[in-house]
């Protein structure tokens, strides 16, 4: 149909139908095979809340819960070891900085600002280069991280049992890797096989289970290694992440004519259901199908602050009522719940989860610290003052 240059607008009324990608591919195959195709339009209503969102909420909260307790336990063990070394007063062991930070990376304010720049550049690169081959590269990188995370989690869990303690404490030198425990060597082939099997069969209907297992293990490991040293760094990091999420979900539409974050998360132009850096569960009672998803950043970034709260509580010997962890954990759960409520109210349009999570978690932490008179300690030191164990005060 061709319209002349001086012709007025016509009310053509051609119906347009949107189909899921798999349904469209199936229809196209039947047409190419010269099969008789009958199409009947049916538009069922979506449920207000799908069970998949409930399970996804539990997975996100459970991931932060497990990572926080692991991080706090490690910090307490390091503090106990540091006190023992100080009691011995051995000069060769008095480098307390190495003891307290062994195997841990403390981010600083500069790193928090740099996160926004690096994450934005990486997101634009994903948006511009998104294709089948580029997604394959992401899958390989995700598998490498998943193997490391799954191996770390399994070794830590198995080491708690006395049957595996000897294997976990016995080491052997491996070229290019250094000293590795026998338990790690035993677990590593299983982790590699699990990751490879998922990568090969990731397009089958239940492959999301393997992706979630690898993703959860990776996030728990990251939350164990990377730490927020004080509330100042946590505030800067979450504030930057808050602005980052809003910009790339909403504001980016003005420059790119579509939401960059949503396009990347869906994996458009890649032939996949989305990038692997997501937790996903198929919508169980939604006649339209699809997945409920949550990005790793929506769990890891608030999780850094929640893990910091539990480490502080344990070092300050606070109970659940007087501490910060229960409040921070509750605030994260409520923030994520509000995210799903907003998602359903907006008829499934993508929402920046940190828009709701950050004000809840950070606002709760700052308010409690101010009311309890501990905000200065939380803001600067990040841990309570502890008396030096080898100094004893004599009564006068």
Q: Is residue 251 in a domain? A: yes
**Residue 173 β-bridge partners:** 179
Determine contact, residues 186/155, Cβ cutoff 8 Å: no
- Among the listed residues 212, 245, 273, 286, the single catalytic one is 245
Could you give the CA distance from residue 184 to residue 168 in angstroms, rounded to a whole number? 7
* pLDDT mean values, one per 10 residues, the chain (396 residues): 56 73 80 81 73 93 95 83 64 43 78 89 86 85 95 90 81 78 90 95 90 96 92 94 92 86 77 80 80 91 95 88 93 94 77 92 94 91 66 45
Q: Is residue 148 in a domain? A: yes
For residue 57, count CB atoms less than 10 angstroms from its CB and return exposed for 0-12, middle for 13-18, buried for 19 or more: middle
**Residue 278 β-bridge partners:** 295
Distances (CA, A) of 217 to 95, 156, 222, 275, 296: 32, 11, 9, 17, 11
Could you give the CA distance from residue 226 to residue 296 in angstroms, rounded to a whole number? 14
Q: Find how far residue 287's CA is from the centre of its chain.
A: 28
Q: Is residue 362 in a domain? A: yes
- What pLDDT score does 146 carry? 95
> Of 337, 312, 314, 327, which is closest to residue 362 (Cα–Cα)?
327
Phi-psi category of residue 20: left, alpha or beta, with phi > 0 → left and psi -120 to 50 → alpha:
beta
Please confirm, yes or no, whether 298 is among the known catalytic residues.
yes
- What pLDDT score does 17 carry? 75
Q: Is residue 22 in a domain? A: no
Could you give the CA distance from residue 396 to residue 391 in angstroms, rounded to a whole number? 16
For residue 147, count CB atoms less than 10 angstroms from its CB and return exposed for 0-12, middle for 13-18, buried for 19 or more: buried
For residue 187, count CB atoms less than 10 angstroms from its CB and return exposed for 0-12, middle for 13-18, buried for 19 or more: buried
- What pLDDT score does 367 carry? 94
Q: Which residues contact 384 (CB under 8 A, 6 or more apart)?
A: 312, 315, 316, 377
**Residue 174 β-bridge partners:** 178
Q: Find how far residue 209's CA is from the centre of its chain.
A: 16
Three-class DSSP labels, the chain: CCCCCCCCCCCCCCCCCCCCHHHHHHHHHHHHCCCCCCCCCCCCCCCCCCHHHHHHHHHHHHHHHHHHHHHHHHHHHHHHHHHHHHHHCCHHHCCHHHHHCCCCEECCHHHHHHHHHHHHHHHHHHHHHCCHHHHHHHHHHHHHHHHHHHHHHHHHHHCCCHHHHHHHHCEEEECCCEEEEHHHHHHHHHHHHHHHHHHHCCCCCCCHHHHHHHHHHHHHHHHHHEECCCHHHHHHHHHHHHHHHHHHHHHCHHHHCCCHHHHHHHCCCCCCCCCCCEEEEECCCCCCCCEEEEECHHHHHHHHHHHHHHHHHHHCCCCCCCCCHHHHHHHHHHHHHHHHHHHHHCCCCCCCCHHHHHHHHHHHHHHHHHHCCCHHHHHHCCCCCCCCCCCCCCCC
Q: Is residue 21 in a domain? A: no
Q: Is residue 373 in a domain? A: yes
Residue ranges making up the domain that contains 253: 47-75+99-380
- Among the listed residues 50, 273, 286, 298, the single catalytic one is 298
Rounded to two decimals, what is the model's pTM? 0.83
R_g (Cα) of the chain, nearest Å:
25
Q: Find how far residue 61's CA is from the centre of its chain.
A: 11
Please confirm, yes or no, whether 268 is among the known catalytic residues.
no
Q: Which residues contact 351 (CB under 8 A, 6 or more apart)?
A: 249, 339, 342, 343
End-to-end CA distance of the chain: 102
CB atoms within 10 A of CB 83: 17
Q: Is residue 11 in a domain? A: no
> Of 83, 75, 61, 62, which is closest to residue 382 (Cα–Cα)?
75
CB atoms within 10 A of CB 76: 14
Give how many domains the chain has, as a whole number: 1
Q: Is residue 38 in a domain? A: no
**Residue 172 β-bridge partners:** 180
């Amino acid at each position: 149909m061709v319209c002349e240059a001086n012709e007025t607008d016509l009310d053509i009324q051609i119906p347009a139908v949107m189909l899921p990608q798999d349904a469209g591919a199936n229809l196209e195959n039947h047409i190419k095979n010269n099969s008789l195709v009958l199409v009947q339009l049916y538009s069922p209503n979506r449920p207000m809340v799908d069970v998949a969102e409930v399970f996804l909420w539990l997975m996100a909260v459970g991931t932060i819960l497990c990572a926080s307790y692991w991080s706090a336990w490690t910090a307490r063990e390091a503090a106990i070891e540091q006190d023992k070394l100080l009691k011995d007063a051995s000069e060769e062991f008095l480098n307390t900085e190495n003891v307290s930070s062994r195997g841990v990376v403390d981010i600083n304010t500069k790193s928090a600002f740099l996160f926004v720049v690096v994450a934005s550049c990486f997101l634009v690169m994903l948006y511009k280069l998104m294709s089948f081959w580029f997604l394959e590269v992401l899958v390989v990188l995700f598998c490498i991280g998943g193997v490391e995370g799954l191996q770390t989690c399994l070794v830590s869990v198995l080491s708690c049992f006395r049957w595996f303690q000897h294997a976990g404490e016995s080491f052997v030198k491996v070229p290019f890797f250094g000293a590795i425990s026998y338990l790690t060597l035993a677990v590593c082939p299983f982790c590699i096989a699990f990751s490879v099997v998922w990568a090969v069969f990731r397009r089958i209907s239940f492959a999301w289970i393997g992706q979630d297992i690898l993703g959860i293990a990776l996030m728990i490991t990251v939350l164990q290694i990377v730490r927020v040293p004080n509330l100042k760094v946590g505030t800067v990091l979450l504030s930057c992440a808050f602005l980052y999420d809003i910009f790339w979900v909403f504001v980016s539409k003005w420059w790119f004519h579509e939401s960059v974050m949503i396009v990347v998360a869906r994996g458009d132009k890649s032939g996949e259901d989305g990038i692997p850096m997501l937790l996903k569960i198929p919508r169980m009672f939604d006649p339209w199908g699809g997945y409920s998803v949550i990005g790793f950043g929506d769990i890891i970034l608030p999780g850094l602050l929640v893990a910091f709260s539990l480490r502080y509580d344990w070092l300050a010997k606070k109970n659940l009522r007087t501490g910060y962890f229960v409040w921070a954990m509750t605030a994260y759960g409520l923030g994520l719940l509000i995210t799903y409520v907003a998602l359903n109210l907006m008829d499934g349009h993508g929402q920046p989860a940190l828009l709701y999570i950050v004000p809840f978690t950070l606002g709760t932490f700052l308010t409690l610290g101010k009311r309890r008179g501990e905000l200065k300690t939380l803001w600067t030191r990040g841990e309570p003052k502890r008396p030096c164990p080898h100094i004893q005060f004599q009564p006068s």
